[in-house]
Amino acid sequence: MSPAPDGRPIFLEIADRIADDILVGLYAEETQVPSTTELSVHYRINPATAGKALNRLVDDGIVYKRRGLGMFVVTGAPEALRARRRAAFTDEYVRPFLAEGARLGLTLEEILDLIRKDQR
């Protein structure tokens, strides 16, 4: 795994992927997530980077450490993640989306039409 083209650190990238997997239920609440070693081998990254990714999730209250056992998903983590992602949805998706629409000269009504068409 190499750094993302936008220069985003790898450990954030990895933390996001694990969070994605928790969000969709691949790692259920109170089950174990991959260890530092497993992550570093899988993504071929330095174990320190993998450790940073897990620590990031610990700081965010998504996973917690059980001594001698590993990292486990916090009860309620999927809900917390969903709430957080909803809050960020406007900034991360809606605004850039509207900005691109404006560059292309689309009106709000036209954009909404496109969305409705795609939904069907």
Partner 1 sequence: MENAEILQRMCFVREDQRYNDAFSVRDILAVAPAFYPTWSSEVADRLTERFRLPMRTRSKKLSRGQRSALAITIALASRAAYTFLDEPYLGLDASSRAIFYEELVGEYAVHPRTVILSTHLIDEAAALMEEVLILDEGRIVLQTGVEEASRGSFIVRGREAEVRTLVADRDILTERRLGGLLSVTVRGELREDDHELAEELRLSLESASLQDFVAALGIHSLDRATDRPETLEKAS
Q: Does 54 bind partner 1 (CB under 8 A)?
A: no
Q: Shortest distance, CB of residue 114 to partner 1, whole angstroms?
A: 25
Q: Is 34 among the residues that bind partner 1 (CB under 8 A)?
A: no
- Is 62 in contact with 73 (CB distance < 8 Å)? yes
Quote helix, strand, coil % in the chain, to nearest 5: 60, 10, 30
For position 98 contacting partner 1 by CB under 8 A, the verdict is no
Stretch that binds partner 1, among 6-14, 20-28, 62-70, 109-117 (CB under 8 A): 6-14
Q: What are phi and psi of 46, to 5 degrees?
A: -60, 135
How many CA atoms lie less than 13 Å away from 88 in the CB half-sphere? 7
Decide whether 1 or 80 has the Cβ nearer to partner 1: 1
Residue with smaller CB distance to partner 1, 13 or 29: 13
